[in-house]
Structure 1
Amino acid sequence: MASASGDGNATLKRCLGVLRDARNDSEQFAALLLVTKAVRAGEVDAKTRRQIFDAIGFTFPNRLLTSRQPPAGCPEHTFRALGLTLLACFCTDPELAGHSQILNKIPTFNDVLVSPCNPDSTSMIDDVYQCLSAVLATARGPRELVTKGTVSALCQAYVNCSYGSDRALTLLLGLLAVAEAKCWQRDAPHLLAVLSKLSDDFLRSEDITKFELCEVLPHFVPLSPPLSQDSQGSECLRRLYKGLANVLASKLSQSQRDPALKLAACLVQACGSEWIPSGSAGSKFLALLVNLACVEVRLTLEEPDPLEVEGKKEVVTACYVLIEMGIQECLREEKPLLEEVQKMQLMRIMEEAFGAVIFYLRQVKEEELQDPFIFASVRVLGAWMAEETSSLKQEICELLPFLVRYAKKLFKEGSPAASLPQPELVSTEGSGLPPDALRFLLPGFCHLTAEDRPRDILISEGAPALLCEYFLHQWEVLTSKPGSLAPLTSPEMSLQTTCGIFLNLVVTAPDLIRRDKTFSSLMDVLLKSLPLLLPQKDHLVLAANVATLGLMMARILASSAVLQGTQSAKEFFGAALRFLSQAHTAQAEPSGGWAVAVSPAYASAWADVGELWFLGMQALAGCVPLLPWLPQALLQARWLQGLSQLLTRVAPASLDFELVAAFQGVLVELARASASCRAAILAHHGREWANLYGMAALEQCLSEP
């Protein structure tokens, strides 16, 4: 064998010598045939392959690929096949695989894949797949493959079951792993065709293939655009649902169940629950999915074996996605998929699963805090805390110190977990940014700060200071884009929820606001942010939160220097007055006359803004006697004139008691605090209003000497 190998190498060296010294194409071609024979036989090591390239270069293979006249008696594609064999040989060198001379052959490779395959051209296809695999592994390769149409060619090769279609699928998986968004942007119809074939195979297969496809299918489910928007996509979803229903209704081993749960979670991430049909079968399937997910979570986390948990993190994270969908479906009132009995059963089952999540998180060591699985566990617990406020309260209170510490660590230090995918039902964490644990904990914290014990724990753990820093950071994120503020985004939602937490603290822990210096910094930001925020379209809810929080904090921090008639304070109160005064208008009644109504600009958001408006009016009234410069500012803002015009125009019966009380509260404080305000109220028929609208306190105040 050794001598045979030695003879082969000697022959190869002679051929390389001929290639280098060839005087014409015939001599070069003859030597090349021997070289390619050796290459195909796999007798060439890396060093020799480089020698072949040095002897040939790219010029001759390029000529072979473009030549249309084969030697006499040879198949039509002889030259092309030789050229591809040489390129496949060169591509085994990573440096050459990324060479522009290889990259510009990508259209040729694609052409081979989509051309009809003759029995004698299979070696060409093998060479093309070798070239494409090598290109994919280079830095520039994926981008070049996508832009030069390889995704389409691979899809066609797979859908048509062409020779080597399994390798086409492998390459597609590789491309989707590194350039999913670009692939779907450019080649959605072709990728949908692959998904259609895969989903059809998934539904039809009755053997191990079904479970293998569970592993492959998630890679072909796009996060956007939603599959349900397209008839072909909807049909794929129907097949996937039926296939999964068949799988999960069977008795499965763990190795079979896990891929099915991951596929289901992938569909939930992409489509929510839209892929699950309404009706009895769909509701049973959904309940089964969530049930299985809860069981998996409990089995893995209730008695955590570190090695076992490590191997199950991926499937448990998928289960978290399914459980979060379960929470949403249990709360859904419009066209619910679940019946009330099912909802109650699932809530009990999910409560047990969250007990296991809490138990697991209590065991977490400091060195594990940057594990993405911890983030996923905190995130799903945040979803539960946001909605289920009475369940597991004792356990959650005991976990609060960990949650605050964890959120603080991620916020202040960032984490490698940022670059790893996290289960998201709606949006994904931006890679390159530290994962935002607080974002998912805020709604739960908002509920908890309304209750004494959890609020005391949060305060003792330093949550208010952390939340102030977080608010400042999110405000910077929101306003970082030039021009107008970005439309509703997670930073804006986080700011709104954080305002809700602060409002709870203002009401229940005013001493904390007074003594904690971080709230002075927050006050500064509120003063400066509202004038910027209020004129922006589509940010009324956040503006309402900022205005109301600022007014309520100003009442507590009235003695601070920043509120002593400074420019920022005047601008804030001016903006707050605009927010409050523009909320109501006179509206013509069908029967004639005028009635007070919520202004059109506020109407769509009034469900979120209404309560804040009333709190803001109450807080404004409280600020009037505490800030000596404020009554004059209200006069200059012509708030009294605007209110006078409104009250004079509308029918008294159109104002409900709560609205009358809100107006009266501010008017009484103005009349008491400032002689000029009192005079202005009287000049604008204040006594008549007071009598007409039943403002007894105002009437008494105005009648006093």
Structure 2
Amino acid sequence: MVIMAESCDVVAVMSSQDPAEEEKGGGKGGGGLEGDAAAATEGEKGLTDAQREVLQRCLHALKHAKNDSHILAALLLITRLCPANQLDKPTLKSIFEAVGLNLPARLLVTAIRGSETSALPPHELLSLGTALLAALSTDPDMASHPQLLTTVPILLGILANGPVLEQQKQEAQEKNQDGDTVPDKFAENSSTKSHVEKSATETQASGEKTEKDSTSTSQDSSPSAGLDEAMAADCYQVLTAVLALPRGPDQLLSRGAVPALCKAVEQNQILSHNRGLALLGCLLSGKTKDKAWIKHRSELLSLLIRLCKDFCQSKDEIKLDTCSRLVQFLPPIGVAVESEELKEVLRHVAGALRPMMQAKLTPRHLGPILVLSACFLDLYGWELVGPPKLCCLLVNRACVEVRMGLEEPPGNDISPELQHTLTGCYRIMEAAIEQACSAAVTATPAAPQSSVSTLTLQQSRQVLKVLEEAFSAVIYYLQQVDPSRYGDPFVFATFRVLCSWLAEETSCLKEEVTGLLPFLIGYSRSHFQQENLGQNLSDWMTGLSVSEETAGWTGREPLRYLLPALCHLSAEEAPRKVLLTLDTPALLVNFLSQCWTSLRGKGGVVYGRDPSMETACSALLNFTVTEPERVKKDPCFKTLEVFLGEALPVLVHKPRLLVLAANFCTLGLMMGRLRSAPAGLSESGQRRFFSTALRFLRGALDLGSSSGPAKVSVSWEESWDDAAELWRLSLQALGGCVQAQPWIIALVREEGWLKHTLSMLSQCSALPDQHTQEALEEAVRAVAEQCEVCRQEIKDMMMTHDKGALTCMKNLKKSVGVK
């Protein structure tokens, strides 16, 4: 339990308390003994009669101790005669409650201040204090106690700087970010005010100066005993116990754990390469990863560069064992890109991995290599992997591992280690899909051409073939997934990689994919409707080595990944029929509604483009075009009309969301052409939508210079590449709406759409392109055919203007009777 120095004269230990205060009870701060007879009896199991008798006497002594000396004497007897492994939790808890946290904290502060009233050397005080804290921290309640947390900076200072004789009194008094401070009793007046080693939570600038001062001071005062393994182990035991708390990583981060542990590793302090790196790895693998890199970027970059160099210089068998460690220390994507030195070092690491990748390795050794390679792809793309041949090899080995891992008989559990490896393989496959299934990438100075984009046709076919075989195994695995496992992070990872493939590849495994649609929709709907299913998924996504997921889990994530595939599948008859039986349009409508609510809920935050909402509109548009009868009867499309009528008037005033507005406008007009004219007055929501749509469409083109060609307006220019086709489709749908619902003609005139369009067409010499001209002509012609007044206005304009784009519209001339 407690490790005590053999030379410790417990009777001579002096407390930092006032003597009179000490006589009142040294255990005051830790609480009295609640070790009743029942607890003591329970704790005596496994002890001899002699040990049991000693234990009872010591517990009695602890309970009635009058000062620190009595407590230490009882502890000394317990540790020598009753090993901790023979004491159960209730007994240990009774001992801990008797000792309390004041005693070990006072020992540390006394050692740091170098009090002349202590009969023990500072090093022994530190040794005893850290040992007591290590024992106390084995109880989670003690580990989370604010008083123990105040000692964390001191312990970090010991690990980083060694146990100096006189550390700053402020190190014990320091106020951390959570507002915890060492109790006032630690801040007694003292004549010792020497400058000492920097605190673990001080800033780097002031810390460097303090470190120099402290080194000088400690050398001048008296020789400092070195950091021994027992003391280092005790310090790490406390830090590990704090790390295990629910808020443990944040507690350590706020108290300067990252710079202190980085320094311990740099100075090669005892246990730093074992337990220090392990602690840092935990801090950099979870939710505190981004915070740590933002706050301590330079220290972590320096440490990572050192680890990479050590990796490259080590033997192959050591490299195999340290791949996983390197993964933990890789930075977020933005940080890595900014450091050319890191990029160069990682290039050497990737070079060291290549011969290992080509060698025959067991899955236990190959897995970490594949995961590390996946992280490099996340950071720098294919640039670090090597020539095309090695890129093909990496993809092939990843796909083979996926097939071997997923093609197990149903019911076989996949181990956590294999799940981790397969998740890395998925990321390699996603990167390969993006390149091999897309058109050739044009190299630019900002985005150099990747190795995969230089594959020969034969190599590209090989990559696609092994990917197809791997995704066949993915489909097989997902077919076996029971709804009870929908919250499993590995199932989500497997679902996501399949969605990335389906977004690009639409011709392979059609029957298998169609057969899997009930699972894909059911899985997405379950998460969408039950957000709590994703509690584990949120933590898992945060824990990815190089995570792209920064926002919290909302339940919409699975559907977001599936949407590009739905956009393709809804355009094909066989899968579309299956999607309709699964009520997919209603799911998409609900998705749009929730996303819009979330978007508007951002308040003053600048709206940003949301591609998933645009993709959902595209899938709904496919259903609208191909399944008109379903649109007329399905109530979800009526709900969609109401939603669009409320959303479009707001959306048209958000310039950054112009493409989404074009999607909403097109979708609403395409549904409008399928509706029959209302028996009475049109609904206010319908009027609002069509009025907004007419104003929105009218703003796309402007008359450039006098008598020159029409140009895309300034407000549309930036988004024209994405919005042009939607604009043309909206005009075609507008013609259909006018024919189906003639009351819209009045809005066409009231909103000035016809007047503006005729004026522009009569004055401009040409339109931006032939497709734009055809779309406008079709819309104007539909209006002319439904309204005599409009037809006369169009005819008059053509008769009075013998030049301009209007005169080139032959079909329109024929409709209005102009030769």
Structure 2 length as normaliser, TM-score? 0.77
Distance in 2 separating the partners of 1:85 and 1:36? 12
1:111 aligns with 2:153: no
| Counterpart residue number, 2:493 | 376
Structure 1 partner of 2:764: 650
Query: CA offsets per residue over residues 489-545 of structure 1, 9 Å max, x none?
Result: xxx322211111122222222111112121111111112211111110211111111
8 Å CA contact 1:70, 1:79 repeated in 2: no
Cα distance change, pair 72–704 in 1 and its aligned pair in 2 (3 A): closer
Verify: 1:668 aligned to 2:781, yes or no: yes
- On the 8 A contact 1:61/1:87 being kept in 2, the answer is yes
Counterpart pick for 1:163 among 260, 266, 270: 270
2:473 to 349, 353, 356: 356
Corresponding position: 1:437 with 2:548: no
List per-residue Cα deviations over 1:274-327 (Å, max 9, x = no partner). 6526xxx34333222211111112222345353264563332222111101100
Q: Does 1:393 align with 2:510?
A: yes
Q: Which residue of 2 aligns with 1:307?
A: 412
Partners of 1:303 and 1:124 lie apart in 2 by 48
Matched, 1:273 2:316: no
Q: Following TM superposition, by how much is the alpha carbon of 1:437 offset from its aligned partner in structure 2, in angstroms? A: 2.4
Change (3 A) 1:254 1:435: farther
Tell me which amino acid in the other structure corresponds to 2:670: M
Residues 140 and 613 (structure 1), Cα distance of their counterparts in 2 relative to 1, 3 Å cut? closer
Match of residue 701, structure 2, among 584, 590, 603: 584
Equivalent-residue separation in structure 1 for 2:794 and 2:362 (angstroms): 79
| 2:230 maps to 1:123 | yes
Question: Counterpart of 1:125 in structure 2: which amino acid?
Answer: A
Contact 1:564 1:627 in 2 (8 A): no
- Whichever structure has more helix as a proportion of its residues is 1
Structure 2 counterpart of 1:100: 146
Determine if contact 1:418/1:431 at 8 Å carries over to the other structure.
no
SS across alignment from 2:702: strand
- Cα distance in 2 for residues equivalent to 1:36 and 1:243: 53
The equivalent residue for 1:486 is 607
Shift of 1:87: 2.5
What residue is the counterpart of 2:241 in the other structure?
134
Contact 1:36 1:86 in 2 (8 A): no
Residues 228 and 234 in structure 1, CA contact (< 8 A), matched pair in contact too? yes
Point out the more displaced range, 144-153 or 570-579. Answer: 570-579
**Cα distance in structure 2, aligned partners of 1:442 and 1:256:** 36
Deviation per CA, 1:115-136, whole angstroms, max 9, x where unpaired?
A: 1464464433232222222222
**What corresponds to 1:678 in structure 2?**
791
Change (3 A) 1:364 1:171: closer
CA distance in 1, matches of 2:321, 2:266: 18
Q: What amino acid is aligned across from residue 80 of structure 1 in structure 2?
A: L
Q: CA deviation at 1:48?
A: 6.1
Given candidates 394, 397, 400, the residue that maps to 1:295 is 400
Whether 2:124 is the aligned partner of 1:78: answer yes
3-state secondary structure, aligned to 1:387:
coil
Distance 2:60 2:636 in 1: 81
Contact 1:195 1:236 in 2 (8 A): no
1:467 aligns with 2:467: no
Deviation string, structure 1 residues 404-455 (Cα, Å, up to 9, x no partner): 3333333334463552225799732855433632222221221122222222
Per the alignment, residue 21 of structure 1 pairs with: 66
Q: In 1, distance between residues paired with 2:299 and 2:545? A: 26
Out of 324, 327, 347, the residue aligned to residue 238 of structure 1 is 347
Alignment partners' CA distance in 2, 1:516 and 1:80: 75
Alignment pair present for 1:604 and 2:644 = no
When residues 159 and 617 of structure 1 are mapped into structure 2, their CA distance, relative to the original with a 3 A threshold, is same
Alpha-carbon distance, 1:214 to partner: 1.8
Are residue 698 (structure 1) and residue 803 (structure 2) matched? no
8 Å Cα contact 1:294-1:319 kept in structure 2: yes
User: For residues 126 and 453 of structure 1, do their structure 2 counterparts lie closer, same or farther at Cα, with a shift above 3 Å needed?
Assistant: closer
| 2:282 corresponding residue in structure 1 | 174
What whole-Å deviation, never above 9, does each CA across 1:164-211 have from its counterpart, x for those lacking one? 211112222333335323322322222223322322232222243222
> Is 1:549 matched with 2:667?
yes
Instruction: Indicate conservation of the 8 Å contact 1:478/1:485, yes or no.
Output: no
SS for the counterpart of 1:594 is: coil
**CA positional deviation for 1:387:** 0.9
Does 1:638 find its partner at 2:748? no
Residue 615 of structure 1 corresponds to 729
> 1:617 offset after TM fit, Å?
0.8
Aligned-partner SS, 2:427: helix
Aligned CA distance change for structure 1 residues 65 and 425 (closer, same or farther; 3 Å)? closer
| Secondary structure at 2:503 match in 1 | helix
- 1:342-374 CA distance string (max 9 Å, x none): 322211211121122223333344544444333
8 Å CA contact 1:159–1:193 kept in 2: the answer is no
Unaligned runs of 5+ in 2: 1-46, 164-224, 443-448
Paired residue type of 1:130: Q
Distance 1:20 1:656, change over 3 A: closer
CA contact (8 A) 1:276 1:286 kept: no
Relative to 1, partners in 2 of residues 1:565 and 1:686: Cα closer, same or farther, differing over 3 Å?
Answer: farther
> Which among 81, 89, 107 is matched to residue 135 of structure 2?
89
Report 1 or 2 for greater relative contact order, CA contacts < 8 Å, sequence distance ≥ 6. 2
| In the alignment, structure 1 residue 513 sits paired with structure 2 residue 631 | yes
Closer, same or farther: CA 596–63 of 1 in aligned 2, 3 Å: same
1:11-59 Cα offsets, whole Å, 9 max, x none, are: 8569748x8234xxxxx45873774586589845456655555555444
Partner residue, 2:29: none
- For 2:406 and 2:287, the matched residues in 1 are separated by 32
Match of 1:151 among 241, 258, 268: 258
Q: Is the 8 A contact 1:15 1:35 kept in 2?
A: no
Distance 1:414 1:225 in 2: 30
* Correspondence 1:32 to 2:32: no
Name the CA distance, whole Å, in 2 between partners of 1:539 and 1:585: 20
Change in 2 beyond 3 A, CA 1:31/1:635:
closer
- Distance across 2 between alignment mates of 1:302 and 1:194: 40
1:531 aligns with 2:645: no
Alpha-carbon distance change, 425 to 518 in structure 1, aligned in 2, over 3 angstroms: farther
Shift in alpha-carbon separation, 1:671–1:276, aligned structure 2, 3 A: same
Q: What's 2:205 paired with?
A: none
Match of 2:389 in 1: 284
Deviation at 1:111, TM superposition (A): 1.3
SS of the residue 1:21 aligns to: coil
Cα distance in 1 between the residues matched to 2:142 and 2:535: 34
Contact 2:333–2:546 (CA<8 Å) still a contact in 1? Answer: no
Structure 2: which amino acid aligns with 1:323? M
Instruction: Tell me how far apart the structure 1 counterparts of residues 806 and 435 of structure 2 sit (CA, whole Å).
Output: 49
CA distance in 1, matches of 2:259, 2:76: 30
Contact kept, 8 Å, 2:535 with 2:553, in 1: the verdict is yes
Kindly state the Cα deviation for residue 386 of structure 1 after the two structures are TM-superposed.
1.2
Cα distance in 1 for partners of 2:755, 2:124 equals: 92
Question: Given that residues 39 and 89 in structure 1 are in contact (C-alpha distance below 8 angstroms), is that contact kept between their aligned partners in structure 2?
Answer: no
CA distance in 2, matches of 1:42, 1:293: 53
Q: In 1, distance between residues paired with 2:716 and 2:547?
A: 27
> Matches of 1:286 and 1:196 in 2, distance apart?
25
Aligned amino acid, residue 435 of structure 2: E
The 1-side partners of 2:276 and 2:546 are apart by: 30
> RMSD across aligned C-alpha pairs, in angstroms?
3.2
Structure 2 match to 1:25: none
Decide which of 578, 584, 595 is 2:709's aligned counterpart.
595
Compare 57-66 and 448-457 and name the one that shifted more: 57-66
Match of 2:393, as an amino acid?
L
Name the count of aligned residue pairs.
687
Cα distance per residue 1:621-656 (max 9 Å; x no partner): 12123223322212222223322442344224x554
Q: Distance in 1 between matches of 2:356 and 2:73?
A: 53
Separation in structure 2 between the aligned mates of residue 55 and residue 407 of structure 1, nearest angstrom: 54
Task: In structure 2, give the amino acid aligned to 1:212.
Answer: D
Shift of the alpha carbon at 1:153? 0.9
